[in-house]
Amino acid sequence: MTWLKIRAACSAASVRIATLACAAAFTLTAGAPALAAGGRAGALSIGIENVNDSPLKAANYRTLLRFVPRSTMDVDRVYFGFKLRGANCWDAGNAEYGAGDGGLMLVRLVRIDKATGLPAETIASETVNGCTRHNQAKAEVDNQIPVLVWASLRATLKAGHMYGLVVSNAHTDPAHNFFSFNAPIGDAALAGPHGRNELSRYAKGALMSLDPREHVAWSEDNGNSWRYGKANGQYLSYINDHDTNHPAIRFPQYGFRLTNGSTVPGQPYYAYSVDCVGCTVAYANAKVDRDLTEAGGYTAGESGIGTLTLKNLSTGQQASCTPSQGYGFRKCSLSPSVHVAPGQSYSIRATGSVELMKMDYSQRLLFPQVGTGSGDFTAYQPSPAPGTNKQDVPNLWAGPLSPHVPN
């Protein structure tokens, strides 16, 4: 049965048993990820290729970062991607990410209307000069250039609820005094629910271990309307910088500081068009019992990801397969499947080339638990590729369901 026939059959299904059977029948078609279930449990853990900015140099510009906390928490900071190179405080006049005094950063933490997916009432807000916040963030990461900055926003965030950060520039002369909202990018055709105003937590096709409802949106009319998908930034972005056959969208990158002073990553990774050849990623300390029947990788090139080998590092069981080669998400079926139990770790190795997700020095200082085997982001390189860090993650996954997220 073809994918289109399966989809038609699923649309026509009227009973619960038929619907469940159809949900399990979707297969990888035209580069899109096949997911046996939706939601965060069915999300691939990878999917970004580069990072791009959205300069906030007009009073009517707004960017919306919509996020869904994994757990209920009391926070006093929310972190997001930020860059103002070219402003007076960083390489003045030599770049276009910022200008003048860095603008006046206005960040509102809002509730999201679950019926419309749009920003509702404001929970907390902060207004601060862009260069002031840049310098404060720089001081907290050993005087290195920060990838993320924060807005001081005190709130109780509830697990599974949608929230948003609405970021704007409140400067009286934003054209000459501005900063940029920064975000990792991935292929718009492969972004699934993150490229639209998705309202179902059970939607299929999520990436980056995100809830399907999480996304970045852009407005040029003071937030009266929002743009999604490839239009979700101040300018159009493309994979490999200029590949117009592959428009890109901006993905959420964010985190929190709790009121007790500890930090919690929401989605900590970004990327910088770096390929990883012959690389291995390990996923430590599984939380859920899974039979892994497939392995896959993501490449923005045409050279191919090669052969994939999945190994349970606790039991030694392993299996290999070779997907069809080419651009995009490539996966293959493992025979036999590899079983992973709670507490066990597994690795995936590709003989070819895949994209690399980055955790630079400032990110590692901010979220030191990433890549350590604890928390929600346990992936690491057992033997880091030349020029990379242990916490930099090759775009490799195993599934169809994540051993790190309950159904």
Residue 42 lies in a domain: no
Position 31 scores a pLDDT of: 35
Q: Is 6 helix (H, G, I), strand (E, B) or coil?
A: helix
DSSP state of 41: G
Residue 242 lies in a domain: yes
- Own/partner contacts of 110-114, CB < 8 Å, gap of 24 or more, are 110/163, 110/164, 110/165, 110/166, 111/161, 111/162, 111/163, 111/164, 112/66, 112/161, 112/162, 112/163, 112/164, 114/162, 114/199
Residue type, 257: R
Of residues 310, 309, 352, the one with CA closest to residue 327: 352
Same domain, 84 and 208: yes
| Dist CA 162 CA 159 (whole Å) | 9
Q: Is 165 helix (H, G, I), strand (E, B) or coil?
A: strand
- CA distances (Å), 1 to each of 26, 28, 144, 392, in order? 10, 13, 54, 39
Q: Could you report the per-residue pLDDT of 3-60, keeping only the tens digit for each?
A: 333 333 333 333 333 333 333 333 333 333 334 478 999 999 999 999 999 999 999 9
Question: Contact 36/401 with Cβ under 8 angstroms?
Answer: yes
| Residue range(s) defining the domain that contains residue 17 | 1-30
Position 302 scores a pLDDT of: 86
Which CATH number covers residue 304? 2.60.120
Question: Contact 119/164 with Cβ under 8 angstroms?
Answer: yes
Q: Could you report the per-residue pLDDT of 196-228, keeping only the tens digit for each?
A: 999 999 999 999 999 999 999 999 999 999 999
| 251, 268, 285 - which closes a domain | 268
Same domain, 127 and 205: yes
Q: What is the pTM of this model?
A: 0.90
Of residues 160, 376, 150, the one with CA closest to residue 257: 150
Position 32 scores a pLDDT of: 36
Residue 71 lies in a domain: yes
